[in-house]
Structures are given as structure tokens and as C-alpha cells.
Copies of this chain bind each other. A is one copy, B any other.
Amino acid sequence: MHLERTIDFYMSSIAATHIKALRESMKASGADWYFITSDDHHSSEYVAEYFKVREYFDGFHGENAFLLVSQQEAKMWTDGRFFIQAERELAGSGVTLMRMGDEGVPTVQEYLKANMKEGESLFFDGKSINFSYGSKLEKIVKDKSGKLSFDKDLAGALWTDRPSLPSSKIFILTDDCTGENTVHKLARIRVKMAEAGAKAHFLSSLDDIMWITNLRADDIPCNPVALAYLLITEKEAYAFLQTSEATDEVKKYLQSVGIKTLDYMELDKFLQEFKAEGPVMLDEGGLNYFCVKTFKDKGEVVNRANPSKLMKAMKNETELKRLKEAYVLDSVCVTKLGYWLKKNIGKRTITEIDASDYIDGLRAKLPGFIELSFPTISGYGPNAAMMHYSATPENHAVCKPEGMLLVDSGGQYETGTTDVTRTFALGPVTDEMKLHFSKTAAGMLALADAKFLYGCTGRNVDILARLPLWELNIDYKCGTGHGVGYILNVHEGPQSIRWRFAEGMTEAVLEDGMIVSDEPGVYIEGSHGIRLENVILCKKGVQNGDGQFMEFEHLTYTPIDRDLLDKKYLSEKDVERINAYHKAVYDKTSQYFEGDELEWLKEVCAPI
């Protein structure tokens, strides 16, 4: 701990030096205020090192942070998950922490409104800020009759040892793998463009571009994507890829599906010269400020969600066939982790990291394994109650033969992307833990068992997962579920399972072929955390005069720890669902077990 603080202090003084340099550059450029987000240019969930400009200047390693610098002040906003870490890492840097959400703490916009003087200037890198946020800052500057500059990365230019852009090998998915070739996908998108009255369509979201082009790469950890932009016109299409990645094979393939390859770094120049033959369709909410402004300056823009967003969410038959295979094999890894934990706990030292290493190792051996779909979360005891907990070599718990271990994990395979959470008893547990676990299991299975009419969104069905916990006056303060990509991001829209209403929100109807996680949980600070997560497939049920009924099907097949279930907390229907699920787990996965493991599987899948 002592050493760590010394390192922090050293880092902070480096930060102070960097901010000093930034202030000099600001002075030279006439910038009164400089603003830096934590975003890349594509609004990605995970961000490559190259894009961590803010971190270079303030030394804070967490996420969701915003740095605002003037000659007098430097303030960094972040949310409650990171307050402790931020206080430590910012100490000595001269940067003040602004605790987002705390009473009396102004937002960036409120602060700027109150402190920016008439006629002052604000600079930011318009590519690292989304359009909606940028527009709000633009309005503040306008109201102050100030100057806005967004076309230069002033701060990034000062980063002397800046890492290069991430670069990896692009691979091309075959039609056997995707079930739909790019020519067909482009044709479907052009239909949507025509419906919107658009002559061109521009995208920067990497998963959309990968889905359309049937390419994959490894530029961003856990997301098998390449940095790219895509412009589609009525007759042409242009993919902007890094020259290091656009091999002859890739270029030839893209050409064969009607896409010209251009250099990723040439986007600005291309856009300046590009003349659209009519309105350009783009998703303002998903694009960076620079791109949207560029198109708006050039002509009419039609603001629409990328059509590919819904298309890629509705998995086709090929994808579903492969996904089902992937989920069964991936589930087997979780079951094997459970067996390993139960057999070894108390006999050898098992840390949170040992557990995640064990399951990561099992996944790595599966056919078609690419990488993890996100860093495995392994939380023992009270650590599991922290939703963003991450065990590190420096800071992790040793599991005892008591209480519970929560493991949330998933893989990227050539057959799809998985996501699954199980919570295991490692020995004696309290009655309260059994209550919480039983109700979590009841909710997870009740949602998966829902029958509903076509037209329902996640808001209609969320309560089925949550009700058993709400009846205990307990809520998990997050959504119940998210869409999952196909050899793509583990978090994907447009669908989600959530309950909260916000004026003007858009909701996606649950469509045939959508897959979504179903992950209720209980998080008791300082005590324990429980989450059970299956991924479920939405599909058509009966159609009759009352409409098209829809239902879910489990993709995940790994036992729900019976050591944590107590029938006194379960209804008849709950017990029926648990027994039916366990029977299916056994039927679908027993072929992958033998000997003691198989015997054990039989036991843990027996009716309760």
C-alpha cells in the first residue's frame, strides 16, 4: 500500500507536468478552456490505449471521466464507482475531483455555464466526443458569444510517447459462418436508405461495420473489431481501414462485395471532398461530433438509427445454429468450474484469480476460441457485491470454504459470443443468502419462461425477473438484460430488458431471433453478491387471432447451484422450472462429461 501511494504521487507529478504543457499549448492556440473525454472516435465501450488522452493528462486510470482545463483550473468529473480511486490517483496532480451525482456538484455543462466568461473560447477534439454532448457544449459557447474549436486534437499532439493506433490481422468470415453475405446486407441497408429518402449512409460504430462487411479483427480487447468507417451510397461503398490491416486479400474481398477500400487516416480529406447526391442518413447519437458536423455543414442529414443495428440483433438461422453450439460448449466450462471449485475448496488455495484463470483456460481449449468476450469477473464474498469489481494480481481475495463466489464470464468463438454468470456456494452459507439466491433463480427462470405478444419490449417483461426480489424490497440497480453480438461485442442493442421510463426514450420490440441476457441479482454491500445470467433467444410461438405470441428459449445450459436453493423460498412453479431447466442441462451437456464429473453432473441436475 505504501509503495502504491508513492507511485501514485510520482504519477501525479507527471500529470501536473503534462497539464502544464497543455496550458502552454492552449495559450499559444488561443484556447481559454480545453475539454477531454475518455472516448475513442467510435463511441466504443472498450477503448484502445491510443485513445486514452485524458488519462495521459490527469493520470486517472478509471472510466467515464471528463477533464476540463483552463489556465487557472483543472477539474475531472467521474462517477461514484471511481471516487476512491480518483482521489488517490489525482492527489498532487493539481486536478480537482468533481464527484458526479453528488449533491451540489455541478455537471460539466453547469460548471462551464457558470464559469466561462463572455467571449472565451473552448477547444476539444471533436472526434473524441459524441455529437449530443458536443452540441450541448456548442450551445453554451454560443450563448457566451465565444469561440469553439473542435477540428484539432491539441492535447493528443502533446502526447510524445503516444501508443500507435491498435493494429491486428483482419479476418474474413465465410458465408457458412455468417449466413448472409455482404452484398445482401448492403442491399437491405440500401432499401432502408431509400425508405428514409437518403442517398448516402455513414457509420462509425465498429460492430455495425464488422457485421455489414463480415470482417473481424482484434483492434480492441474483447471486441473482435477493426477500426473503421463505412460510407454507403446508392451504388458505391467505401470502407476506411488502416493500411496496416487492409491486406490485398481484404481489399480483394471487399472489392468482390462492392466496397472500395480507403485509408482510415484519409477520412477527413475524403469527407471534405465528398459530395452527397442527397440527404445523408446517419445515427447522430452514435457518431462523434466532428463527423456529424462535417455532414451537416455539407448538406441535409437524416437522423436514423443505423439499420444494421436492428438487422444484426436479429440472428439468422446460421448464426443461431452456431450460437446454440457455442453456448452449450461454453456452458460446459462453467459447469466444470463449479465441479472444480466444489472439489478443491478447502483442499488447496483458491483465489478469485485462480477461479478466473481456471475457466479462462477451459475456454481457451474450446474449438474456434478467439478471445474472452470481456475480462472474467470473479468476486468472492463482499467483493461480489461490487458490480464493477475486478480482481487484480495486487488486489484480490482468497476464497474460503464458506460463502459464495460469483463468476461472470464469456468467450468469443468462431461460432459466436457468449456471456454467462453463476454464483457458487463454496461451503456453509447463511439462510439469507439462500433466500436471495432462490429468489434470483426464480426471477431468472420466470423471465425465460415468459409468453408475450409480439410488440412487447424489454420494459414489458422486466418485472418478471425482478418481482421475486421486489417482493423482498430488494432491487438490483441495473438492467436485467442486454443484447449480445455474434462474434462481436458482448453488449449490443437495440433491445434490452429494463424497467425505467424516460421521456422520449426509444425502445426496441423483442424480435424473433434476438438474443438477450437475463441476469437478475442481489448485491448487499459489505456482505455478498449474487447474479445468475443466462442468455435467452426470443422466438415466435403460436400465432392466432389475438396476435403473434413470442417466447424465449435458453441458450445457456449450466446448473444453478442447488446448495444455494431452498424450497421454502420457492413456489411450486419455481421448483418446476428449476427441475425442467436442470433436466435440459443434463440432456444437452452430459455427453461432454465422464467419470466423477458426470456422476456429479447427474447429482446437481437431479430434481430438487
Indicate which residue in B455, B463, B571, B573 contacts A460 across the interface (CB closer than 8 Å).
B463
Say yes or no for A339: interface residue by CB 8 A criterion.
Answer: no
Q: Do residues B452 and A463 form an inter-chain contact, with CB atoms below 8 A?
A: yes
Q: Could you tell me the distance between the alpha carbons of A452 and B470 in the complex, rounded to whole angstroms?
A: 6
Indicate which residue in B450, B459, B541, B549 contacts A501 across the interface (CB closer than 8 Å).
B459
**Residue in A455, A474, A475 with the greatest tally of chain B CB atoms within 10 Å:** A475
A residues 452-499 near B (Cβ < 8 Å) are: 452-453, 455-457, 459-464, 467, 470-471, 473-475, 477, 499
Chain A residue total in the interface (Cβ 8 A): 37
Of the listed stretches A28-36, A379-387, A502-510, chain B binds A502-510
A residues 196-253 near B (Cβ < 8 Å) are: none
Q: Do residues A475 and B546 form an inter-chain contact, with CB atoms below 8 A?
A: yes
Query: Quick one: CB contact mask for A506-528 with B, threshold 8 Å, 1 for yes?
Result: 11010000000000000000000
Q: Could you tell me the distance between the alpha carbons of A106 and B192 in the complex, rounded to whole angstroms?
A: 25
> Which partner residue on chain B sits nearest A503 by CB separation?
B506
Say yes or no for A544: interface residue by CB 8 A criterion.
Answer: yes
Query: Which residues on B sit within 8 Å (CB–CB) of A453?
Result: 470, 475, 499
Q: Could you tell me the distance between the alpha carbons of A268 and B205 in the complex, rounded to whole angstroms?
A: 56
CB distance from A443 to the nearest CB of B (A): 13
Query: Quick one: CB contact mask for A545-579 with B, threshold 8 Å, 1 for yes?
Result: 01101000000000000000000000111000000
Q: Do residues B459 and A461 form an inter-chain contact, with CB atoms below 8 A?
A: no
- A-B contacts besides A456-B463, A460-B463, 4 pairs, CB < 8 Å: A457-B501, A470-B549, A473-B541, A473-B549
Q: List 30 A-B contacts (CB under 8 A).
A: A450-B463, A450-B467, A451-B467, A451-B470, A451-B471, A451-B473, A453-B470, A455-B500, A455-B501, A456-B463, A456-B499, A459-B501, A460-B499, A463-B463, A463-B464, A470-B549, A473-B542, A473-B546, A473-B549, A474-B546, A475-B546, A477-B546, A501-B507, A501-B509, A503-B506, A504-B504, A571-B571, A571-B572, A571-B573, A572-B572
Interface pairs A-B: 3 shortest CB-CB: A475-B546, A473-B542, A451-B470
